[in-house]
Amino acid sequence: MDKEDKEIFLEALLKGNREKGSAIATKYVSSHDDIKKFYEDIVKPSLYKIGEMWEYNIITVAAEHLATAVSESIMNELYEHVISLERTPYKIVLGSIEEEQHQVGIKMIADIFEMHGWDTYFLGSNTPTNDFISFIEEINPDIIALSLSIYTHIPIFERMINQIRRQYPEIPIIAGGQAFNHGGQEIADKYDNTIVISNIYDTEKFIKKFEDEDK
C-alpha cells in the first residue's frame, strides 16, 4: 500500500474532493484483497484522523461530516467490485444501534459479507431498536451485526441484545465499533453467541468459521 495514497486520500476528505479520493480508490479495485486494504489501511485511519482533528478543534463538525459523506460515496462507487457473483444462502442484517450516528465501519462489514456472497441488509445508522427487531422478524437472518462508536451507547446496546435474545436466543450477534476500544468482550460474554470483532480481517475469519461449521 502506497503511503502517499493514504495522505492524498486524507487531504481529499478534508477538502471534500470526491474526484481525488475516488482516483485513489480505483487503484484498489483489482481484487477483494485490495479493497479490504483500502478500507482498513486508508479509509479507516483517515476517518480516525479526522475524528482526532475535530477533538483538537482543527476542523469543525461540518468538515467531519463532509469527510464521512465523501468516504461513503466513494465506498458506494466500489460496489460493483465488491459484490460476488457466487452467492451463498446466508443473510445478515447490519446496522448501527439506536442513537448511534456513525455508520461507515458497519458499512465496510456489510461489504465484506457481500464479498463472500451473503445477502446483506444494511440499515445504516440510528435504527430504533423496535424497528430493527421487526426487520429481523421479516428477514430471518443467519447473523445480526451491530455497531456503536460511542461508549455511552453501551447500555442501549445491552438493552437491544436482551430484546433480541428474548425472541432469538440462538442467532449469532457480532458487534464492533470504537465503543469497544477498551474491551467490551466482557459485556458481550454475558450473552450467548455474541462476540466483539474489531476489524475486517477478523470478520472474514468469523465468516469462514460460520460457513465451515454450517456445512
Partner 1 sequence: MKTNEIKERIIKTANELPEFPEEAYKEYEAKIPKMVSELNDMMLSRSDIEVLTGDKVNIEMMKDNHNNHAHFIASILKNFDGEVLVDTILWVFRAYRSRQFHTNYWAAQLNSWRTIIQKTFQIKQQKIFCRFTIGCKSTYLHLLNYRMNN
Where does this chain bind partner 1 (CB under 8 A)?
A: 54-57, 151-155, 158, 182-183, 186-187
Q: Which is nearer to partner 1, 89 or 183 (CB)?
A: 183
- To partner 1, the closest distance from the beta carbon of 21 in angstroms equals 26
Q: Which is nearer to partner 1, 3 or 152 (CB)?
A: 152
Could you tell me if 171 and 143 are in contact, meaning their C-beta atoms sit under 8 angstroms apart?
yes
- To partner 1, the closest distance from the beta carbon of 158 in angstroms equals 8
Q: Which is nearer to partner 1, 79 or 151 (CB)?
A: 151
Q: Which is nearer to partner 1, 139 or 150 (CB)?
A: 150
- To partner 1, the closest distance from the beta carbon of 124 in angstroms equals 22
For residue 168, count other CB atoms closer than 10 A to its CB: 17
Could you tell me if 118 and 42 are in contact, meaning their C-beta atoms sit under 8 angstroms apart?
no
Helix residue spans in the chain (DSSP H): 3-15, 18-25, 32-37, 44-55, 61-77, 79-82, 104-115, 129-139, 154-167, 185-188, 200-214
- To partner 1, the closest distance from the beta carbon of 184 in angstroms equals 8
Could you tell me if 173 and 196 are in contact, meaning their C-beta atoms sit under 8 angstroms apart?
no
- To partner 1, the closest distance from the beta carbon of 198 in angstroms equals 16
Q: Which is nearer to partner 1, 56 or 85 (CB)?
A: 56
Q: What is the residue whose three cell numbers read 446483506?
A: 120
Closest to 50 (Cα-Cα) out of 37, 63, 39, 41? 63
